[in-house]
Chains A and B, each alone.
Chain A
Amino acid sequence: MTQPFRLPGVGRLDAGKPLAFTFDGKSYTGREGDTLASALLANGVHLVGRSFKYHRPRGFLSAGPEEPNALVGIHRDAARKTPNVRATVQELYDGLAAVSQNRWPSLAFDIGAISDLNAPLFSAGFYYKTFKWPRAAWDRLYEPAIRRAAGLGNAPDKPDPDHYANRFAHCDVLVIGAGPAGLAAALAACETGARVILADEQPVPGGRLRFEADARIEGKSGWDWAEETVARLAARDNVRVLTRTTGFGYYAQNMIGLVERVTDHLANPDPNAPRERLWQVRAKRVVLATGAIERHMVFPDNDRPGIMLASSARTYLNHFGVAVGNRIAVYAAEDSAYAAAIDLKKHGVGIAAIIDSRAAPESPAVEEARALGIDVLAGHAVIGTDGRLRVRRVHVAPISGGPHREFQVDALLTSSGWTPAVHLFSQSRGKLAFDEATQRFLPGLYVQDAVSVGSCNGTFDLASSVNEAFDAGAKVAKEAGFRKPRARQMEASSGTPWSIGMAGASPGVEPGTSKMAFVDFQNDVTAKDIRQAVREGMRSIEHVKRFTTTGMATDQGKTSNLHGLAIASQMLGKPIPEVGLTTFRPPYTPVTFGALVGHSRGRLFEPTRRTPTHDWAKAQGAVFEDVGQWKRARYFPQVGEDMHAAVARESRTVRETAGIFDASTLGKIEVVGPDAARFMELMYTNPWAKLGVGRCRYGIMLREDGFIYDDGVVGRIAEDRFHVTTTTGGAPRVLHHMEDYLQTEFPDLKVWLTSTSEQWAVIAVQGPRSREIIAPFVEGIDISDEAMPHMSVREGRVCGVPARLFRISFTGERGFEINVPADYGLSVWKSIWAEGQKHGACAYGTETMHVLRAEKGFIIVGQETDGTVTPDDAGLSWAIGRKKADFVGIRGLRRPDLVAEGRKQLVGLKTVDPQIVLDEGAQIVADPDQPVPMKMIGHVTSSYWSSNCGRSIALALIENGRARMGERLYVPMPDEMVEAEVTSTIFFDEKGERLHG
């Protein structure tokens, strides 16, 4: 018989289609609308997992997201294997395949359960005590063993094939939780016209109405009212209803993180549907209607499969139509659990007894239970249970002493009371207040614009709850700027009784007991462990938590924290608020990395910036390198060439004929206004006032501390207009730095800055034939040496489009940089390239650019400099305007350390063996025979093979380097000591004659 525990005509899934699924390879049938948990229970399956530490058999504690035990793996396909899925949350779909975790070889027979027998060895704090010594054992023994044992479930070993979405949303009122209170609040708020978002973690809203079958609201059954209300809300333009959506984090200024599970419940999801969607909601007001979580009783062997929360059994019965057993006992210390026994009894399920630890419970429910013929044992405690893989027998004794009794059962429902779900309130930094009378933490002082309603606010009575919520919804909508709706009294009633429960160990679990009475199921923490922590000196709950790991599992102690706190409080003889409460931190329930990452994966991880000639270079076989977000062509290998060969050829070709280089990524800033030159004087070390229109100058920018911040060539386009270039990587920060000074230190200057980095494509043509190559395309500019000498700039046309033509050189050769509007870049490049081919020119990449500039001793900011290099260190003191009264860095340059003797200075290094290319970053020493640690006097900043020099070349920063010309120094490498000679930084064309042809 399939689904033997499904009761015909009971629950709300009657119309649901049958769905096939497997658990640990065995086939079962469930119903549309089931969770994996309810479907397994319908089939009589309670054993679903093994506990983390002791590998004890475990079943379902709950019917919701607070579940600590029933964690399973869901395997859709090879790449979609999700571990640690709560079976009480996972919705059933046709073909679902679930597997149990933390067991080997099988769930029923698990070798790891041996640690249950060794439980005394694994007492609280054992991590801190057991693995202390010997030291050597840590690496070889302990750590590998711990790593094998640690972790729940198995992480998927393939990349996640699903995609995830993100949505920023704004609303006037965000309601979290769509139980009766949340629905009432949303109803009130939406009627004012406010923008409302209503989020609920369940597939169908209703909250407690799922199990509270006796509830009536506005003349209807509570469930019908909830369904109708949701439909009404969803139909409104100003309301967004999000189901399967958990409010997991409450951040500053009413920013709430919600995660929506879009496809995990579907057998065949639309491939365009994201698996999950992260909602980052900014709400003017937040209504917290997050409900309350039932607590179990802490009694010996309270963790056997078949032992579950009373309200959960009611959910399985009243919502899913599933009886969790045939003969059930209830162990409680409060009234609401009676409703479970009563509902089950009314549906013909055998109730063995209700065991109530209270001496004389008084409630209509007690009377009703007795009237139904249920044996109510007041003043009794459960002192033990039997059953290896499922609870079989319950041992009961009067608390005041007396004969023990035994009940044969197949399920045991427990409840010690309800904990208001104040997680989000606490995350909002609200202060919780302990209510002595009801022994619960409730929202106290609010620090954000939020309000709590219903059970999470301690209001359990249904009528009070919906009315409190309706009023709150109206009030917050008004606060958000909307007219208040007319007040109204909502009618509601429920037969479920509520009373104060108890927290801590149940009677009979006294200090000194050796029985295992679990507080935290997921981390296997018992009452005894918590007591031991106190005995060993832990005083604050934060210490107890870390020592025992209570509340530190993936369920974050939703069912256990108050118990742990109460036990510690009792041991310390201090009231609960004085022992403290651990901090609630996001996420409320686990959130996937995928949801947090959203679209930012693969090619959308971050922008990949490409220059206008990118596709051309790619077609030429260029090898690219990442420079910040840019892709730059590094070299253009011809058939059979490696990088070394390609760079050797490219760098020779540039000096012999010419090379063409895409310099488009250079940062460009247009400085415009009557005070442009004055501003340039302040931002750069160089003098600018007298730079003629049409002339260029190499500029150095410092920070106020005197260190080099950036450099680049600047051309004066007009009296009031400069074309400034920056390093590729420095473009955004240089503009930010300049704006900072302009806006906040020199706001009276009449000048404006505009980034033109991407307005211009920049084609550098460098080499002895450069002029001939560009000449056919240039209109309106005389490019002869006389008319356009080195370091000049002209406006005209190239290939018929407006251009700024620079005569500048980063290679030491005669060179031009053609700036054309970016969309013309590719076309102009192709024309120049075709012409260059006639002259034997080549395209070259960043690697050759680096070699050529190093041959000339030109620095690269960020390579020769590291934020602690002054212009003088870099040999650039000529670029400082000596007569200037002010520029950024002028005072920093005179700091004692910056003018002291012995600073590292930039020099050239030639290895004695010309074939050896030093490693960049290698340290330099003076005496190769000194003992280790050696005194390091500098380091290599740049190092290349120079085919033009026929040897290796290097630049280095060395203490007093310029005074060491000709000196032999040493570079210790792992396998040898490399000898090198200190030289000038210029390795090629020392007189600079080639610049002019």
Chain B
Amino acid sequence: MLLIHCPYCEEERPEAEFRHAGEAHIARPQNIAEISDEEFERYFFIRSNPKGLVFERWRHIHGCARFFNAARDTVSDRFLKTYKAGEPKPALDGEG
């Protein structure tokens, strides 16, 4: 079981309290009703799924219930950083 630092609870908590919620930093288009099929495909269906550094959403569903973002290395399974929803992608150096 991983330990995940919740940026709202400001401490590491057991993974059992969290739920993964897919790739981060994919904003719903403001004008979603007007976008083309191609734009909708990119927004809704296409995900990067890289090996290594990923930015993903988690929810502390059995804790503070907040959604937040995390940078994680899928090779080492290490969290490099977690940050609040709405904050920009952090610049990461070193690992990942």
Contacts and interface: CB of A to CB of B under 8 A. Distances in A.
Direct chain A–B contact by Cβ atoms under 8 Å: yes
Interface of A: 168, 251-253, 255, 280, 282, 429, 447, 704-705, 736, 739-740, 743-745, 747, 885-886, 890-892, 895-896
A895 B76 CA distance: 39
A891 B1 contact: no
B40 A743 contact: no
A387 to B, nearest CB: 51
A252 B67 CA distance: 23
B67 A743 contact: yes
A743 B58 CA distance: 12
Interface string B6-25: 00000000100001010000
A736 B35 contact: no
Contacts of A745: 27-28
A255 B67 contact: no
B66 A740 contact: no
B1 A280 contact: yes
Given A168-B14, A280-B1, A891-B32, 8 more contacts: A253-B3, A705-B44, A736-B59, A739-B59, A745-B27, A745-B28, A892-B44, A895-B37
Secondary structure of the A contact surface, majority rule: mixed
Contacts of B65: 739
30 contacts: A168-B14, A251-B1, A252-B2, A252-B77, A255-B1, A280-B1, A282-B14, A429-B76, A447-B76, A704-B44, A705-B44, A736-B59, A736-B61, A739-B59, A739-B65, A739-B67, A740-B21, A740-B67, A744-B57, A744-B67, A744-B86, A745-B27, A747-B85, A885-B33, A890-B32, A890-B33, A891-B32, A891-B33, A891-B35, A892-B40
Contact of A744 (B14, B33, B37, B85): B85
A429 B77 CA distance: 11
Interface string B32-76: 110101001000100000000000010101000111000000001
Contact-size category for B: 20 to 34
Contacts of B32: 886, 890-891
B40 A891 contact: yes
A895 B40 contact: yes
B3 A282 contact: yes
Contacts of B3: 253, 282
Contact of B66 (A251, A280, A429, A743): A743
A673 to B, nearest CB: 16
Q: Can you list the 5 inter-chain pairs with the closest CB atoms, starting with the nearest?
A: A743-B67, A891-B32, A745-B28, A253-B3, A890-B33
Contacts of B2: 252-253
B79 to A, nearest CB: 9
Nearest to B29: A891
Contacts of B14: 168, 282
Nearest to B19: A736
Nearest to B57: A744
Nearest to A891: B32
B33 A886 contact: yes
Contacts of A891: 32-33, 35, 40
A141 to B, nearest CB: 45
A890 B40 CA distance: 11
Nearest to A447: B76
Interface of B: 1-3, 14, 19, 21, 27-28, 32-33, 35, 37, 40, 44, 57, 59, 61, 65-67, 76-77, 85-86
Contacts of A896: 37
Contacts of B77: 252
Nearest to B45: A705
A313 B3 CA distance: 45
A747 B27 CA distance: 12
A282 B32 CA distance: 45
A429 B86 CA distance: 34
Nearest to A732: B61
A338 to B, nearest CB: 45
A851 to B, nearest CB: 36
A252 B72 CA distance: 13
Contacts of B19: 736
Contacts of B59: 736, 739-740
Nearest to A743: B67
Nearest to A747: B86
| Candidate in B19, B27, B32, B61 with the most chain A CB atoms within 10 angstroms | B32
Contacts of A429: 76
A280 B76 CA distance: 21
Nearest to B36: A891
Nearest to B28: A745
Contacts of A255: 1
Contacts of A447: 76
Contacts of B27: 745
A704 B44 CA distance: 8
A174 to B, nearest CB: 15
Contacts of B67: 739-740, 743-744
A704 B43 CA distance: 10
Contacts of A890: 32-33
Nearest to B65: A739
Nearest to A251: B1
A886 B28 CA distance: 12
A247 B86 CA distance: 42
Contacts of B66: 743
Contacts of A885: 33
A885 B19 CA distance: 31
Nearest to B40: A891
A168 B86 CA distance: 34
Contacts of B28: 704, 745
Nearest to B41: A895
A453 to B, nearest CB: 25
Contacts of A744: 57, 67, 85-86
Contacts of A895: 37, 40
A157 B61 CA distance: 41
Contacts of A739: 59, 65, 67
B35 to A, nearest CB: 6
A885 B40 CA distance: 16
Contacts of A282: 3, 14
A264 B28 CA distance: 58
A351 B32 CA distance: 88
A743 B1 contact: no
A735 to B, nearest CB: 10
Nearest to A280: B1
A895 B86 CA distance: 29
A890 to B, nearest CB: 5
A904 B82 CA distance: 44
A447 B73 CA distance: 14
Contacts of A251: 1
| Candidate in A253, A255, A705, A740 with the most chain B CB atoms within 10 angstroms | A253
A888 to B, nearest CB: 9
B6 to A, nearest CB: 14
Nearest to B21: A740
Nearest to A887: B33
Contacts of A280: 1
A131 to B, nearest CB: 38
Contacts of A740: 21, 59, 67
B46 to A, nearest CB: 13
A682 B85 CA distance: 20
A743 B14 CA distance: 22
A450 to B, nearest CB: 15
A641 to B, nearest CB: 43
B19 to A, nearest CB: 8
Nearest to B35: A891
A197 B77 CA distance: 26
Contacts of B35: 891
A786 B34 CA distance: 43
B16 to A, nearest CB: 10
Contacts of B37: 895-896
A920 B65 CA distance: 39
Contacts of A743: 66-67, 85
| Candidate in A251, A705, A736, A891 with the most chain B CB atoms within 10 angstroms | A891
| Candidate in A251, A704, A744 with the most chain B CB atoms within 10 angstroms | A744
